[in-house]
């Protein structure tokens, strides 16, 4: 028997105008709703004990609605959800906490809300207090807590009793890294003891790390159900190509096309390319326009995921609206939260030997190649073109944070940069005894 079976489930939000039609429905009259919005439809899957499921999908795909229906706070409009076991859901940490009460009182309250008797709660209390690790604050009112402390207590109480199904909805994105690690440690312990995990997150890394099966929701439909690596590729493809599907099909094909074939023409194609971020910051004094770019790694153009340490080529095409004697092309790679990782330009790389001059109407494609010695994650690429001597560079055009790069790797390490450490024993093992 499966732990959770979702059978052809759909959820519609109905609105009535005027509202009394809704009330008429409760009394058994079947009055048609004025508007019916289907958030989810025809969702079917089964989950067995010990699985770890990730649910991904873009905003509005229906992930939260599905979770709420599994957790039991929303009722499906059609279909059935059958659950054989106890569910604990963290849809929001510290739900129902009263700021005037102490941590201990709130724990009591929250655990009561989960349906436990006071005796059970009292037994679990020392464990909860120990896990939250907030010391004497546990007996202070929650109102004076930092938000991190609230999170700690919230997680501690939510996981005080091992459930059969444990649902986590991006709640762990808060709190410091140390505590997050502790949370995952506890989740892993639950998994070992047979708890089924259902995790909703935007972080592909978390999914790959913690789940052995992924459900991909798109526009209210279950689009794919399978192992993380396959699904994450489908997801990434969809994510970065929602505005131009045709181009994706081109780019997925493994090619070693001539760059001019891919980036031909003189149209401004920059914002149609996979990985383009419309949140980019485009600025400069004018005189040149960056028209197009190409990312190429492992013979693939615009790869959705670049494997760590693979040699990656970045091209960008510039049209010059005026002639210049001395231009400099540059790139800058940042982390998703804005830390500069690496930036360089044509002047620096050539040690000042390369002087590029252009005339009005020239179109030039610049190329930078380097190894992506980075950890798995999302990174932002910026391109720029400037004019003049190095000490007085005038930016003609900059397209900051305009391309999203996703890197993945098989083996983890700590931090951001891969120094490719080697390891060995220098001497043979000595036993002093």
Question: Which parts of this chain interact with another protein (CB under 8 A)?
Answer: 13-14, 19, 22-23, 26-27, 68, 71-75, 87, 89, 91-92, 95-96, 98, 100-101, 105, 108-109, 112-115, 117-118, 141
Of 147 and 299, CB closest to another protein: 147
- Please report how close the Cβ of residue 215 comes to another protein at its closest, in angstroms: 21
Rg of the chain (C-alpha set): 27
Tally: H helices and E strands in the chain: 11, 20
Question: Minimal CA–CA distance to 218: which of 234, 206, 207, 233?
Answer: 234
Place of tokens 């990434």: 236
The CB-of-319 to another protein minimum distance in angstroms stands at 52
Minimum distance of another protein from residue 54's CB (angstroms): 20
Which among 301, 308, 265, 292 is positioned nearest to 418, based on CA atoms? 308
Instruction: Output 97 or 366, the one with its CB closest to another protein.
Output: 97
In the complex, least distance from residue 109 CB atom to another protein, rounded to whole angstroms:
6
C-beta closer to another protein: residue 116 or 302: 116
Least Å distance, CB 226 to another protein, is 29
CA distances from 253 to 223, 240, 303, 304 (A): 22, 16, 10, 12
Task: Assign 341 to helix, strand or coil.
Answer: strand
Q: How far, rounded to the nearest angstrom, does the alpha carbon of residue 4 sit from its chain's CA centroid?
A: 26
Closer by beta carbon to another protein, 114 or else 217: 114
- Are β-strands 87-90 and 165-169 bridged in parallel, bridged antiparallel, or unpaired? parallel
Smallest gap from Cβ 144 to another protein, in A, equals 12
10 Å CB burial of residue 203 (0-12, 13-18, 19+) is: middle
The residue among 65 and 308 lying less far from another protein, judged by its C-beta, is: 65
Residues 6+ apart with CB under 8 A from 185: none
Q: SS3 of 258, please?
A: coil
DSSP secondary structure code for residue 151 in this structure: H
Could you tell me which residues come within 8 angstroms of residue 362 by beta carbon, excluding any fewer than 6 positions away? 319, 320
Closer CB to another protein, 141 or 205, in the complex: 141
Question: Which of 100, 230 has the CB closer to another protein?
Answer: 100
Where does 193-271 have alpha helices with state H?
204-210, 228-239, 245-252, 259-262
* Smallest distance, another protein to C-beta of residue 394, A: 53
The nearer residue to another protein, 65 or 269, going by C-beta atoms, is 65
Compute the least distance from the CB of residue 38 to another protein, in Å.
Answer: 13
């Amino acid at each position: 028997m499966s732990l959770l079976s979702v059978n052809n489930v759909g959820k519609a939000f109905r609105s009535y105008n005027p509202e009394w039609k809704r009330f008429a429905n409760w009394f058994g009259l079947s009055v048609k709703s004025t508007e019916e919005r289907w958030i989810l439809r025809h969702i079917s899957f089964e989950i067995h004990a010990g699985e770890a499921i990730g649910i991904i999908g873009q905003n509005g795909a229906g992930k939260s609605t599905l979770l709420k229906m599994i957790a039991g706070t929303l009722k499906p409009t059609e279909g059935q959800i059958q659950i054989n076991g106890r569910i604990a859901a963290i849809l929001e940490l510290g739900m129902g906490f009263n700021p005037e009460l102490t941590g201990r009182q709130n724990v009591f309250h929250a655990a009561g809300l989960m349906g436990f008797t006071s005796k059970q709660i009292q037994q679990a209390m020392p464990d909860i207090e120990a896990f939250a690790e907030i010391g004497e604050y546990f007996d202070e009112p929650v109102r004076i807590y930092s938000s991190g402390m609230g999170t700690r207590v919230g997680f501690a109480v939510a996981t005080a009793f091992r459930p059969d199904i444990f649902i986590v909805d991006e709640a762990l994105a808060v709190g410091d890294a140390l505590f997050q690690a502790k949370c995952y440690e506890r989740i892993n312990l639950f998994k070992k003891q047979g708890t089924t995990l259902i995790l909703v997150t935007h972080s592909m890394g978390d999914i790959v790390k913690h789940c052995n099966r992924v459900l991909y929701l798109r526009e209210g439909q279950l689009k794919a159900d399978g192992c993380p690596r396959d699904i994450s590729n489908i997801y990434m493809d969809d994510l970065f190509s929602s505005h131009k599907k045709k181009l994706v099909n081109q780019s997925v094909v493994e090619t070693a096309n001539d760059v001019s074939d891919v980036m031909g023409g003189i149209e401004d194609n920059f914002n149609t390319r996979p990985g383009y971020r419309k949140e980019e910051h485009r600025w400069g004094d004018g005189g040149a326009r960056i028209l197009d770019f190409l990312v190429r790694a492992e013979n693939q153009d615009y790869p959705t995921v670049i494997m760590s340490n693979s040699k990656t080529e970045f091209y960008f095409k510039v049209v010059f609206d005026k002639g210049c004697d001395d231009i400099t092309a540059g790139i800058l790679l940042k982390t998703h939260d804005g830390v500069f990782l690496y930036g360089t330009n044509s002047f620096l790389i050539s040690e000042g030997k390369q002087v590029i001059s252009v005339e009005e109407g020239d179109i030039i494609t610049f190329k930078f190649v380097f190894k992506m010695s980075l950890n798995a994650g999302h990174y932002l690429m910026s391109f720029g073109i400037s004019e003049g001597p190095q000490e007085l560079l005038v930016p003609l055009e900059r397209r900051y944070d305009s391309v999203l790069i996703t890197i993945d790797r098989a083996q983890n390490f700590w931090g951001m940069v891969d120094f490719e450490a080697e390891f060995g024993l220098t001497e043979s093992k000595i036993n002093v005894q």
